Amino acid sequence: MFHKEGGKIILISTSLTILILLISRQLISIKWIEMSVQIATVLLLIIVLQFFRNPNRTIVPNSNTIVAPVDGKVVVIEEVFEPEYFKDKRLQVSIFMSPINVHVTRYAMSGKVKYSKYHPGKYLVAWHPKASTENERTTIVLENKEFGEVMYRQIAGALAKRIVNYAEEGTQVVQGDDAGFIKFGSRVDLYFPLGTKINVELNQKAIGNKTIVASV
């Protein structure tokens, strides 16, 4: 199963692959060169397909837990000052996604979208300390009665040039549903109220819609 954001790219890539396979048979007379071109073309198509994969991870929403919104590795767990929306101290948990991870973003909890804003910016490597405030990013705040207001921020990395965000202010969203997509390596930061019970550790592998990041 593939994400809808990859539909156009997958169609173009598949068409080009078929075209190159057909043309190479006609234009390249040296067999090993022909095979090399064909294998390289198919491998590139496989890379495109795996990047836009969207595993079926249906869950039963649980208002007492916050699940990982993306696949990746937990790289930050620390108390920080959040200057954009809360303007006070929050507990930050960051998940870094490599280019080989699933890049679908899912709603970490059910609730009302209180804030949703896109910020153009730089393309520093996603683990850079200033990536959270200087890179291209979207900031979304969800609210429910169990956790209060929780922010997540989609951050573009050095390769990512487009962030897709489905969250619209004032709407109700459901834990586990598609929330967007980030292309080609990136990071998601979560900001919790101080004192929130965190259920992950540094360098732990996170699986979107499966790993419980926080609970009450």
Domain limits, the chain: 4-51, 65-215
Architecture of 65-215 per CATH? Distorted Sandwich (2.70)
Its pTM stands at 0.84
Q: 129-180: per-residue pLDDT in tens?
A: 677 777 888 999 999 999 999 999 998 876 656 788 999 999 999 999 999 9
Phi then psi for residue 103, to 5 deg, are: -110, 15
pLDDT tens, residue by residue, 76-105? 999 999 999 999 999 999 999 887 888 889
Residue 17, helix vs strand vs coil: helix
Catalytic residue (one of 24, 132, 186, 215): 186
Residue 13 appears among annotated catalytic residues: no
State the maximum Cα–Cα separation within the chain, in Å, rounded to a whole number.
Answer: 69
Beta strands in the chain (DSSP E): 65-67, 72-82, 88-97, 104-106, 111-119, 137-144, 148-156, 163-165, 172-173, 178-182, 186-192, 197-198, 205-206, 212-215
What are the pLDDT digits (tens) for 112-125?
999 999 998 877 76
